[in-house]
Homo-oligomer: A and B are copies of this chain.
Amino acid sequence: MSSLVDTQNEPDHRNLAIDRVGVKALRYPLSIKDKDGHTQNTVATLSLAVDLPKEFKGTHMSRFVEALNANQEPLEVSTIVSLPQSLLERLPSDKAHVTLRFPFFRSKAAPVTEKQSLLDYEVEFDVETNRKGETNLTLTVFVPVTTLCPCSKAISQYGAHNQRGTVTFAVQMSSPIWIEDLIELVETSASAQLYSLLKREDEKFVTEQAYENPVFVEDLVRNVATKANEHPEILSYRVEAENYESIHNHNAYAVIEG
């Protein structure tokens, strides 16, 4: 069947290199090691791409999937980090780029009863490697938290509006940092952290804790940024907080890049 035309390999005359070409929204099983030594099994949504030199009409999309399949299923983090290199071996490109996002679980003890339950987070890896072997890795955690409004507390005789918010914290590191440590850095910056299972004693605790620790969306990103600035392994970061305001039908948000 080698006689089939290879349209992608035909020359292109528009003289335009393509910054990034590949596949998106591909799902694949992923296993990942916990900080406490367990293996989590989850499902990742991936994109894989390379640049395309101006001489070629097209890339070979099937090779992206072959690069994935060349590894044992499920994917592991060590495989992910070398996936761009593996794309460069299969395609005539200078840079390769892999992104994957997946649900990640932590077992948490409720604050008073210490009952264990799993909380779900989203995590994203973004890896880019060039022909010289230089690699940039960004690790992003999406952390749901409670925020209680300082203004509402200060002006009201009782109560204060509070809500769920999401903090998106992306970091470049000088050496590996545990996902759990990034999550904890964020959770301790909010009014309170979330749990799947809270008995009444626990609910009393988190309600009062949030009331004692009001944060604006501005405070939340500043709290995270302060810790990121002090963290020896964090080279650069972007932190965004978004609050699903309980008194509005729109959200409040803030961003710091450092």
Could you tell me which A residues sit within 8 Å of B by CB distance?
1, 4-8, 12, 14, 16-29, 31, 40-43, 47, 49, 52, 57-59, 61-62, 65-66, 69, 73-74, 103, 105, 112, 115-120, 144, 146, 148-152, 154-164, 192, 194-201, 203-204, 206-208, 210-211, 216-219, 221-223, 225-226, 242, 244-257
Contacts and interface: CB of A to CB of B under 8 A. Distances in A.
Given A194-B247, A196-B249, A4 B218 contact: no
A96 to B, nearest CB: 14
A contacts with B: majority SS? mixed
Interface centre among A118, A157, A211, A246 (most CB of B within 10 A): A246
B65 A6 contact: no
Counting every copy of the chain, the complex holds 4
A151 to B, nearest CB: 4
A65 B216 contact: no
Contact of A47 (B196, B207, B253): B253
Nearest to A193: B247
Given A204-B4, A253-B22, A222 B159 contact: no
